[in-house]
Amino acid sequence: MEMTKRPRRLRGSMTLRKMVRETRMDKASLMYPMFVMDGENKVEEIPSMEGQYRYTVDRMGECLQELLDAGVTSVMLFGIPAVKDEVGSQAYDDNGIVQRALRYAKEHFPQMYLVTDVCMCEYTSHGHCGVLCDHDVDNDKTLELLAKTAVSHAKAGAQMVAPSDMMDGRVAAIREALDEAGFTNVPIMSYAVKYASAFYGPFRDAAGSAPAFGDRKTYQMDFHNSREGIKEALLDEEEGADIIMVKPAMSYLDMVAKVREQVTTPIACYSVSGEYAMVKAAAKMGWIDEERIICEMAVSAYRAGADIYITYYAKELAKCMDEGKIG
């Protein structure tokens, strides 16, 4: 039998495999999610996320320096306030935890690109992502507070805001408020395709943001649906989102690929806390090779169409890129 087409020819050496590699990535596309909390001189490990920590503002520099040393230059900040109330007022307080963290980071680490999560769940006493009307989240009243929060973050130094609440119309409301406040150049990375997922469990432990009652299925998406995700992405792009995010990542790469085909914005995907915790647990038991697994997970996200990868493994992946294991 004569064979003229032999795909194995291009797999013969590491040099050749890298030469013809279809998926490329670099450290500039990595973003690290970071938890900042009220208090002083504290670094607390998150029980359900071994190796991840909550930092007070005076200690967050330790983490930021480690990231910069690894070549990771983007972080997304999540705030954990000491006091919560029904309307999440610490979210938009100009002296709130995220606002103070932004001012500190901007002063001491000007080379770090600062993104903020814009939501209410970490700040409300009931743990839902907006203002309640009886036991339901009032969409339109929540928009006012989300816009107020985004402007407060921008004033404190946020270079990008990322609304994660899943309220209808929030991108338009935030864009209008930012523009009116003079922040026309602050981009919006919208959690546009965000599913109601069990993969968020460890995050809710980290941020103390579990709902006090019910769940978030009236605003986060049903994981059975894909066309709905496309609709959400297109709506947010139309309202002015500069980047569209898919969340979670690992079980939703089909959505990354589908959204990639429909929108013209860059695509981000968030490898969430549950993904991290599962890998950590299996690696601790010796069942998997942690480094190889996280590399494979990351490459799969980029291969599906992601331009930005938000991950708790940002430092480790940066090292793997430096060593030529991926990238």
Q: Report the catalytic residues.
A: 194, 247
Contact 105, 60 (CB under 8 A): yes
CA angle 219, 206, 252 (to 5 degrees): 50
Our measurement of the distance from residue 226's CA atom to the centroid of its chain's CA atoms, rounded to an integer in Å, reads 20
Q: Which two tokens stand for residue 265?
A: 């914005």
Q: Count Cβ neighbours within 10 Å for each residue of 150-186 and write b for 16 or more, e otherwise.
A: bbbbbebbbbbbbbbbbbeebbbbbbebbeebebeeb
Q: Which 3 state secondary structure label does DSSP give 131?
A: coil
- Taken in order 209, 213, 219, 221, is the CA torsion positive or negative? positive
Q: Which long-range contacts (CB under 8 A, 24 or more apart) does 220-225 make?
A: 220/166, 220/194, 220/195, 220/196, 221/166, 221/193, 221/194, 221/195, 221/196, 222/195, 222/196, 223/195, 223/196, 223/197, 223/251, 223/252
Contact 272, 197 (CB under 8 A): yes
Q: State how far the alpha carbon of 65 is from the alpha carbons of 75, 263, 300, in Å.
A: 12, 35, 28
Contact 188, 176 (CB under 8 A): no
